[in-house]
Amino acid sequence: MNKRGQVFLMAAVIIAGLVLGASRTVNYAHIGNNQEAFYDLSEEIDFEAGRVLDYGVINNLNPRTKLISFLDEYTEYIGKEEFVFVYGDINNLQAINYETIEYPNSILLITGSGEGISFPISKTLQTNTNAFSDGEEVRVKVREITYTFNLKPGYNFYIVIIKGEGGEKFVAVR
């Protein structure tokens, strides 16, 4: 056997391997975790509610009425997370707690094919909760945890959103 031919054959295999290795493209897709959407939602609510309060204050409307109306419409968008809004000025701070309660029963809808579709029954409860202020800070207690915010001059707005998923608890505070 010709040794010269073996060298060229080995060189050809090595070069072919290098060319194929270099030409192979690898695509990576990074899928963000679903908690990014949760924290983006808290930023969006903070921004939107701030604009609603600004509108109410600028137009001499009752900011509480405007905010409650906005939040009531937003509860369907927020989903099943528990959230607390603290708003007001140094003299009059108020807090509203929204919590979705799941009922053990569900509604069963039977379709024409005889198959059933089950819809869970839930209700969002809106309750007033206590916000305590010493003139410089405001404290609100949610699920036995106290959150503290610095009071600023003028009208203040703070939000605490709590999401429980898979035994973990995620909290966004703004």
pLDDT tens, residue by residue, 44-84: 888 888 888 888 888 888 877 887 788 777 776 676 778 88
Residue 100 pairs with which residues in a beta bridge? 124
Residue 132 pairs with which residues in a beta bridge? 139
pLDDT greater than 70 at residue 33: no
Q: Is residue 25 part of a domain?
A: no
pLDDT for the residue 148: 92
Q: What is the mean pLDDT of the chain?
A: 79
How many structural domains does the chain have? 1
* Closest of 3, 161, 172, 164 to residue 83, by C-alpha: 161
Q: Is residue 16 part of a domain?
A: no
Residue 30: DSSP 8-state: P
CB neighbour list of residue 78: distance below 8 Å, 6 or more residues apart: 41, 45, 98, 161
Q: Is residue 20 part of a domain?
A: no
pLDDT for the residue 74: 75
Element (H, E) at 42: helix 35-58
Question: Mapping DSSP to helix (H, G, I), strand (E, B) and coil, where does residue 12 land?
Answer: helix
Q: Is residue 6 part of a domain?
A: no
Residue 1: DSSP 8-state: -
pLDDT greater than 80 at residue 106: no
pLDDT greater than 60 at residue 32: no
Q: Is residue 148 part of a domain?
A: yes
Element (H, E) at 4: helix 3-23
Q: Is residue 71 part of a domain?
A: yes
As a whole number of angstroms, the distance between CA 118 and CA 105 comes to: 10
pLDDT greater than 60 at residue 26: yes
As a whole number of angstroms, the distance between CA 125 and CA 100 comes to: 6
Look up the domain containing 131 and give its range.
Answer: 33-173
Q: Report if pTM > 0.75.
A: no
Q: Is residue 115 part of a domain?
A: yes
pLDDT greater than 80 at residue 27: no
More confident: 124 or 82: 82
pLDDT greater than 70 at residue 90: yes
Q: Is residue 146 part of a domain?
A: yes
As a whole number of angstroms, the distance between CA 106 and CA 21 comes to: 56
| Cβ(159)–Cβ(95) below 8 Å | no
As a whole number of angstroms, the distance between CA 93 and CA 152 comes to: 12
Provide mean pLDDT across the span 110-131: 75
Tokens of 12: 């050809």
pLDDT greater than 60 at residue 92: yes
